[in-house]
Structure 1
């Protein structure tokens, strides 16, 4: 198989994988993250159309200017918009569009006007303008998607003690990879023959598509399915972004009382050993509202929920690691301490103690 045939094979794999994956996301057999998966499915289908010219050429044997069609160009322009909408619904499934969200139409309307002018024969100036709009929209939505994901990663630490699987890291990495690949492609187009880069770019995109498929299909529900609980947690997240987080929700006496009660529960009942512990469960145990408990942890202990719970887990793990007669492996100790993976255990343990669990165990055994 020569390089040209191999590149054609990769193109078919990319297109077929994207179309299949888009239908899987739209069908959403697990019924999780419904709005997010619907938007992500549309994004994947629109993304697949960028390889349609090559696929049609392989099928018909002649050049088909599929992407030059008026409607196709406009629909493809919406690809980064639907990616951003999927990020928006992953991070906030209760999001609803308001009148102010008409701002999302600014780029598409401007692009539609450009396309119409090109159709009327004003090719040169509006072709350049359309390219600038494509780049501007791609950069704009890529940027705000990345910022939204980073903000989400901080927010979930307000209510979840284990963020692995709900932090949307895979979307963040995909954004960074696509951004770098596009920069390479643009630079290569400016200084070299772009056709010589097709195989490399398509090979990278194929790997990205498979990674997207793997991580998007295993993405679990981020927020509780119960609507009231979901809205309660999202409202706490919104409050945590305000500068006046430390405004008094309760009196100092009540704050001290809940702090003391919480410390007793953590010491006696050890709820942190439950890997699924979240703010709602701990609030039920303390018989206070999630807002008040979040306030007590943030203000009274000057930590977020994730830090507060995982410090207890690390202290418990340190006791297990010091036991000379313990037959538990590092992974076993991680699970016993309330962590749900060895990776999160190692990362959290080192962040708090400055050592990995293995290093801590070795240091303890040397004493």
Structure 2
């Protein structure tokens, strides 16, 4: 099998994988992150159409200008838009569209106008403008999707003690990989024959698509399904230093009282050993609201919920690591201390202590 035949095989795998994955995301058999998975499924299907020309050529044996169709070109232009919508719904399942969100239609409206004018014979200026719009919109939605995910990663640390599985790291990495690949392709296209790069680009995209499939299908529900609890957590500010968080929710005396009670409960009842501990559970133990507890931790301890809880877990893990008679493995100690994986244990332990659990254990 030569390079051309192998590239054709990869193209078929890419197209088939994207179509199958899009159907799985839209059908959503696990019924999680419904709005996000629906938009992500549409994004995957639109993404698959970029390989349609090559697939049709392999089927018919002759070149078919699939991309030249007006409707197809416009629909493909919406690919980054649906990706961003999926990011919005992953990070905020309660998001609803308002009149102000009509701004999302500005780029598509401008692109459609370019397509119409190009079809009327104004080929050169508007064909060039449409290419510029494609590049600008792709970059715009890539940037705001990345910013939205980063903001989400800060927010979940305000209410979750274990962020692995809900931090959307996989989406962040995919954004960066696709951006880098596209930059390489554009630069190469300017100076060399882009066809010679097709095999390399398609091979990378195939790997990316399989990674997308693996991580997107195992993505669990990020927020509680119960609407009231979900709304409470979403409304918590992601920045503990913001003016809104600094506003007094309770008096100084009440702050000291809850802070003291929280410290006693953490020392005696050790709720941090529960790997599923979140702000809602801890607030119920203290008989306070989630906003009050978040305020106490942010203001009284100058920490977010994630750091506050995991410092207790690391301290507990250190006591187990120091025990020379313990037969627990590093993974066993991780689970015993409230962590839900060895990766999160190692990462958090090193971030707090400056060394890995193994390095700490070897000192004794």
Q: TM-score, normalised by structure 1?
A: 0.98
**Residue 48 in structure 1 maps to residue 48 in structure 2:** yes
RMSD: 0.9
Q: Contact 2:158 / 2:238 at 8 angstroms: preserved in 1?
A: no
Separation (CA, whole Å) in 1 of partners of 2:244 and 2:65: 56
Q: Contact 1:118 / 1:127 at 8 angstroms: preserved in 2?
A: yes
Q: Contact 2:164 / 2:344 at 8 angstroms: preserved in 1?
A: yes
Q: How does 1:223-234 map to 2 (within 5 A)?
A: 223-234=223-234
* Equivalent position SS for 2:177: helix
* Equivalent position SS for 1:31: coil
Give the corresponding residue for 1:122. 122
**Residue 76 in structure 1 maps to residue 50 in structure 2:** no
* Equivalent position SS for 1:160: coil
Give the corresponding residue for 2:61. 61
**Residue 311 in structure 1 maps to residue 311 in structure 2:** yes
Give the corresponding residue for 2:357. 357
* Equivalent position SS for 2:236: helix
* Equivalent position SS for 2:162: coil
Give the corresponding residue for 1:189. 189
Q: How does 1:117-196 map to 2 (within 5 A)?
A: 117-196=117-196
The superposition leaves residues 191-235 of structure 1 with CA deviations (integer Å, 9 ceiling, x where unpaired) of 001110000000000000000000000000000010110001001
Q: Contact 2:154 / 2:238 at 8 angstroms: preserved in 1?
A: no
The superposition leaves residues 51-85 of structure 1 with CA deviations (integer Å, 9 ceiling, x where unpaired) of 00000000000000001100000000000000000
Separation (CA, whole Å) in 2 of partners of 1:288 and 1:50: 53
* Equivalent position SS for 2:237: helix
| Count, aligned residues | 364
Q: CA deviation at 1:265?
A: 0.7
Q: How does 1:1-367 map to 2 (within 5 A)?
A: 1-237=1-237, 240=240, 242-363=242-363, 365=364
- In structure 2, the CA distance between the partners of 1:154 and 1:238, relative to structure 1 (3 Å rule), is closer
The superposition leaves residues 313-345 of structure 1 with CA deviations (integer Å, 9 ceiling, x where unpaired) of 000000000000000000000000000000100
Separation (CA, whole Å) in 2 of partners of 1:223 and 1:163: 11
Q: Contact 1:156 / 1:237 at 8 angstroms: preserved in 2?
A: no
Q: CA deviation at 1:236?
A: 1.2
Separation (CA, whole Å) in 2 of partners of 1:273 and 1:163: 15
* Equivalent position SS for 1:222: coil
Q: CA deviation at 1:243?
A: 2.7
Q: Contact 2:154 / 2:239 at 8 angstroms: preserved in 1?
A: no
Comparing 242-251 with 60-69, greater Cα deviation is found at 242-251
Separation (CA, whole Å) in 2 of partners of 1:48 and 1:137: 19
* Equivalent position SS for 2:258: helix
- In structure 2, the CA distance between the partners of 1:155 and 1:170, relative to structure 1 (3 Å rule), is same
Separation (CA, whole Å) in 2 of partners of 1:31 and 1:104: 27
Q: CA deviation at 1:238?
A: 6.0
Alignment gaps of 5+ in structure 1: none
Deviation above 3 Å: which 4+ runs of structure 1? 237-242
* Equivalent position SS for 2:243: coil
Separation (CA, whole Å) in 2 of partners of 1:238 and 1:300: 17
Q: Contact 2:237 / 2:245 at 8 angstroms: preserved in 1?
A: no
